[in-house]
Amino acid sequence: QKEVEQDPGPLSVPEGAIVSLNCTYSNSAFQYFMWYRQYSRKGPELLMYTYSSGNKEDGRFTAQVDKSSKYISLFIRDSQPSDSATYLCAMSASGKWGGSNYKLTFGKGTLLTVNP
Amino acid sequence: DGGITQSPKYLFRKEGQNVTLSCEQNLNHDAMYWYRQDPGQGLRLIYYSQIVNDFQKGDIAEGYSVSREKKESFPLTVTSAQKNPTAFYLCATSLATNTGELFFGEGSRLTVL
């Protein structure tokens, strides 16, 4: 079993739809969870960052972490064509710099297209 | 403007040639990273450096080399020993005390002919 599993899609939705993106993981030591957005031929940019379990909301975006199920989600409300991108989940175990388990593990990314 | 500059954006190389990808940052971040991105593979860590004159191998370091002589610069050399070098290469930085926020450059696409 891979450490982080993410459905690569592609996912195509109409403008205004609610989008749900998900990742599962196997390493129970992961505590820090991130979502990155990557536009075509560009570098990823951090979209959401959460620590441990719970929800975090930022505008149209909501990140959820369920550590008991080892499952994280990103919800996009009122999706826009400008949200069309690849979404990468990422996670790490340690917040302590220099620790041997400080490393981000990325999912493979989900390609999302929002159609006008 | 503060940021990360990768060059060249596109590069073609013949088999057997070494090539060096540049990464320069003016964010004053301590840590720098090189990732490789292939279709369907996600991001894989090649090398990372926490401080000047020190760096560690990532998950796929074979066939690559790096140096960190200045805080601002972390060049990556793709050597002829790298068997499948065609890929999108991403440089990233982070604050030393940060717990995962990486700042990425625009990437360099290397194609071996």
Q: What is the pLDDT of residues B41-57, one digit of tens each?
A: 889 999 999 889 999 99
For the cut 90, the answer to whether the pLDDT of residue A61 exceeds it is: yes
Q: Does B54 touch chain A (CB under 8 A)?
A: no
Structure tokens at A46: 């951090």
- A14-25 pLDDT tens trace: 999 999 999 999
Q: Which residues of B touch A91 (CB under 8 A)?
A: 100
B65-98 pLDDT, tens digit each: 999 999 999 999 999 888 899 999 999 998 766 5
In sequence order, the 6+-apart residues with CB closer than 8 A to the CB of B73 are B22, B23, B24, B25
Look-up: residue for tokens 């050399």? B77
Tell me which residue in B31, B41, B106 faces A42 most closely, judged by beta carbons. B106
CA angle B43, B41, B76 (to 5 degrees): 45
Q: What angle do CA B41, B46, B47 make, to 5 degrees?
A: 155
